[in-house]
Amino acid sequence: MTDSITVEIVRLPHAEGLDLPAYATEGAAGLDLLAAIDAPVEVKPGERALIPTGLAMALPEGCEAQVRPRSGLALKHGLTVLNSPGTIDADYRGEVKVILVNLGQESVRLERGMRIAQMVLARYVRATLAERPSLPPTGRSGGGFGSTGR
């Protein structure tokens, strides 16, 4: 069973005619985000592109939206979300845009309405930091970067 929240969405003029983000399957965790571009965009190997979705939203307080790559684009073309996962904060009201990078060997042509990323909604907690002179010990202590491997 999953939680459900309501997210208020505004479709900006350059997204007219495009579908709203949607879950591709019954068990999908991410909503597909579409490219709200007027003309095709070519992303050459090693290049970055900021792609608009034509959407602005109001997330409930205590929630964030994480923008993540689509596995098919990553596998087939080397196209991924550069700052993955990108975080959309609950108090952001601007247009959602996706930073894509082409890590592949060939150019990738983005078309209007193409599924470019997925958005996963998540609840979060806010921390109160409590500075101390030392931390409680654990069996692991300061070991990291492969220290728990056998």
- The domain segmentation of the chain, as residue ranges, is 8-123
Q: What is the pLDDT of residue 126?
A: 94
What is the predicted pLDDT for the residue at 112? 98
C-alpha distances in angstroms, 121 versus 60, 89, 140? 10, 11, 32
The model's pTM is: 0.88
- Which among 118, 123, 122 is positioned nearest to 23, based on CA atoms? 118
Residues of the chain with pLDDT under 50: none
Question: At residue 44, what is the residue type?
Answer: K
Strand order in the sheet with 63-68: 22-23, 31-34, 115-123, 63-68, 86-88
Q: Which CATH code, of 3.40.50.720, 1.10.287.3240, 3.30.1330.30, 2.70.40.10, is assigned to 8-123?
A: 2.70.40.10
Predicted local confidence at residue 13, as pLDDT: 98
Question: pLDDT digits over 15-28, tens only?
Answer: 999 999 999 999 99
